[in-house]
Structure 1
Amino acid sequence: MFRRTFWFTAGAAAGVWATTKVNRTLKRLTPESLAAQAADKAVEAGHKLKDRAVGFALDVRANMLQREAELGEALGLDAPVDEQDRALPAPRRRAELGPRTTPNTTTYSLSYNRNEDH
């Protein structure tokens, strides 16, 4: 009698466990649940991608500043500049350039028609 009760209870427990497992799986496979899971994974992937992109941008910016400093040092751009060297020369006037003369040359009329040679 105890054997039959034991096996009846074990079978009932296995049935309850299997039914619960099947119902959870069915709820997880509904279209709404699948859409929510896909959205969650997409958001998670977006956050990971954003973190990597920000880290990459910071690395690029740091290396760019380092390279600019190296180039500035190599070209002497960081050296102090005298104010006299910085000033632009005064503009030249027409009288300083001398009289405008054109040589006596014959001008020819040139045709720029591209289809002329074909």
Structure 2
Amino acid sequence: MFRRTFWFTAGAAAGVWATTKVNRKLKQLTPESLAVQAANKAVEAGHRLKDFALDVRDNMADREAELGDALGLTGPVDPELPARRFAVIDNHAKTPPKYLESTQYTADRAGSRDPQNNRNEDH
């Protein structure tokens, strides 16, 4: 009699445990839950990429400083040398060059080609 009660109770407990486990897994596989999980993974991946980019930037700055020291770019300037010159670009000083229109050809540039019969044009 006690054996039957024991096995009945063990079977009922196993059934409840299995049902609970299956219901939890089904809730995890609903479309809403999958969307939330995907969003969380995407945010986590974004944070990892941001951390990686910050590490790369820091290491790049450290390496540039090392190379500057090794090449003597950051050290004191020798007074016997002339001062450093920096190029100044004035974008408004010159007007842009005027180019020939596509139908105007000169004899030296186009040879004997006729612009009206150019087979390389896209039609």
Question: What TM bracket, shorter-length normalisation?
Answer: 0.5 to 0.7
Aligned to 2:66: 66
CA contact under 8 A between 1:27 and 1:33: conserved in structure 2? yes
Q: Which has the higher contact order (CA 8 A, sep 6+)?
A: 2
Once the two structures are superposed, the pairs formed by residues 1-118 of structure 1 within 5 Å of their partners are 1-72=1-72, 78-80=77-79, 113-114=107-108, 117-118=111-112
Give the stretch that moved more between structures: 64-73 or 53-62.
Answer: 64-73
Following superposition, the deviation at residue 58 of structure 1 comes to 0.7
Deviates more, 1:12-21 or 1:60-69: 60-69
Partners in 2 of 1:16 and 1:30 — Cα distance? 22
Percent identity among equivalent residues?
Answer: 57
Which structure shows the higher helix fraction? 1
Number of paired residues?
89
CA–CA distance in 2 between the matches of 1:20 and 1:54?
44
For structure 1, list consecutive stretches of 5 or more residues without a partner in the other structure. Answer: 87-111
Report the aligned-residue RMSD. Answer: 2.4
- Deviation of residue 33 (structure 1)? 0.7
Please give the TM-score of this superposition, normalised by the length of structure 2: 0.62
In our comparison, the structure showing a higher alpha carbon Rg is 1
Letter in 2 for 1:14: A
- Quote the Cα distance in structure 2 between the aligned partners of 1:65 and 1:13: 67
